[in-house]
Amino acid sequence: MDSTGKMRCVFVTTTILSGMGLLAAPAKPAELNPLWAKMLVQVESTLDHTLQPCYFWAPEAATTNAVPLIVGLHTWSFDYKATSHYQTVLNYAQERGWAMVGPNFRGPNKTPPACGGDPAVQDIVDAVNYAKAHAKIDPARVYIVGGSGGGHMTLLMLGRHPEIFAAGAAFCPITDLARWHADSLLDHPGRGKHYAKMLAQACGGTPAEKPEEYAHRSPLTWLDRAKKAGVGAYIVTGIHDGWKGSVPVGHSFRAFNALANPEDRVSEADIAAIEETQQVPVALAYNGPKDPFYSERMRIHFRRTSANVRFTLMEGGHGGNYAAGLDFLSRQAKGRPTDFGLPKKGKAREEALGK
């Protein structure tokens, strides 16, 4: 805060650990749009004491009144300089009067500290704590949202640190890294073998060589903790992902199953059929109430709600629905039942996500 008590943002340089443990060159101010450069702060990792880039914005009201905080995340192959990954979240925060942080969490998922490694996880925790130290934050209304690699980290954080978050929204998430390594090696439309290479670089080998490392970085390993804590979750993916996109929809189904009550889980046979045919069996097809956040072009093929999780399979590929996810988050708070209500109005907008 400056001498007037108003929020201000500070530009800092960037320190990112490489896979060899060396330090990359600091980011130059010219590499960022000036508006984003003003929001860039430097947060010290409480794990390895490196300085990590993070965007921070808070309304002036947060100097005196506690406001919600939302964590926005970049996707799998990018870092904090891909500001488009944070823009929708920032816009929503500014419209609502929330605070927002956009951590780098060690950049692209191809080095050991990244890809759900402990340093990346701690960077997100540290970003939340930075916001709490520089603004008044309502601890019952801390949210997290992201797609693709950001969806992976959203669900991982709900499992690793359910005490922090009231809810999270994850779009086309990777939820089992060993499975995705195998998925990525297949000669199949939409798959990219370079993802298997990135996983091996991050985890120090293949799943056969480093099974514990792949499991440690996978949301499915941890989601039982989110379920026990009653953390709200909204998962969305497009039915054609895995064909038009690199993450088969089974990753989202299995995350739902991990968070859902046993009687509501989707069978592996049905998951396999949906992945193969890009169609939902008639018995599972959605016939519920109209959701204003989904149009005919991005219609709902499947939806199931159980315990504290909702999963929506929509028409589309590797994309998300931030409008729906953010609306869901806005109604959640720790200590209250998860609110799955639908507003009367909403804008249906699919957002294609970079890998």
Place of tokens 């991990």: 258
pLDDT of residue 273: 98
Sheet holding 167-171, edge to edge: 40-44, 51-57, 99-103, 67-72, 137-147, 167-171, 232-238, 309-314, 300-306
pLDDT of residue 32: 85
- Low-confidence residues of the chain, pLDDT below 50? 1-30
In order of start, what are the domains of the chain with their CATH numbers? 29-352 (3.40.50.1820)
3-state secondary structure at position 78: coil
The distance of Cα 145 from the centroid of its chain, to the nearest Å, equals 4
Please, what's the b/e burial string for 18-38 (b: 16 or more CB within 10 A of its CB; e: otherwise)?
eeeeeeeeebeeeebeeebbe
- ∠ Cα 135 138 142 (to 5°): 100
The distance of Cα 231 from the centroid of its chain, to the nearest Å, equals 14
pLDDT of residue 16: 26
Q: How far apart are CA 237 and CA 318, in angstroms?
A: 7
Quick check: 343 and 327 in contact, CB under 8 A?
A: yes
Widest CA span of the chain, in angstroms? 63
pLDDT of residue 349: 62
- ∠ Cα 103 198 22 (to 5°): 65
41 contact partners, CB below 8 Å, separation of at least 6? 9, 10, 12, 53, 54, 55, 56, 130
